[in-house]
Amino acid sequence: MEISRRELFRFAGGGASALGGLAAAGVSLAPAAARAQELRIATARVTPSVCPFCSVGCATLVHTVNGQIVNIEGDPRSPHNEGTLCPKGAATFQLHVNPNRPTQVLHRAPGATEWEVWDLERAMDRVAELVKQTRDETFIERLQNGKLVNATTAVFSLGGATLDIEWNHLQQKLMRGLGIIAIENQARI
């Protein structure tokens, strides 16, 4: 059966009008909505967790079925968020199930037009090599007036709220330990 766009809007408008009429007449749709919520996660195992995005530490409930995450929502028992999540926290589910999530290290050499798949060890070794080389070439131990600074201005560090707070904390410590001055983070740690 073919339904035109116009017919679809007519049917959808009629359905919305009917639901609106029921609600206006005093019929509560809350029990049906609650039942639908229960059925959606009825067989799921619930594991308390914490949102990874900022330093608030909003409590979450992770629902899994057969080891697969099917839902992540705020924990109403939490005094911090009382069951609510910000847009980033509400999108935590996408960190785990998004089919567009990168799962391999991709490298494009200078001047190349194609991406090359690298194993993680090779990529980490290359990053470490370049950081050390740049730091060694640009490290300033003392200013001209003799003041000790132990710094490099040739490396910039950018953290973000999509990284969990533990990683951002470790990144700050590592960057400061390397003498990097230009450190920015969306989470402002």
* Average pLDDT of span 22-27: 63
Contacts of 71 (CB under 8 A, 6+ apart): 40, 41, 44, 62, 63, 93
The confidence score (pLDDT) of residue 172 equals 86
pLDDT in tens, 75-107: 999 988 899 998 888 888 888 888 888 889 999
> What average pLDDT does the structure give for the chain?
83
Question: Sorting pLDDT into bands at 50, 70 and 90, what band is 125?
Answer: very high
CATH architecture of 41-101: Single Sheet (2.20)
Supply 127's token pair. 């990053």
Per residue in 39-59, pLDDT tens?
Answer: 667 788 999 998 877 767 889
Distances (CA, A) of 80 to 20, 62, 83, 89, 189: 34, 17, 9, 13, 19
Whether residue 129 is predicted with pLDDT greater than 80 in this model: the reply is: yes
User: What pLDDT band is residue 23 in, cutting at 50, 70 and 90?
Assistant: low
Q: What are the sequence ranges of the domains in the chain?
A: 10-40, 41-101, 139-185
Q: What is the pLDDT of residue 166?
A: 77
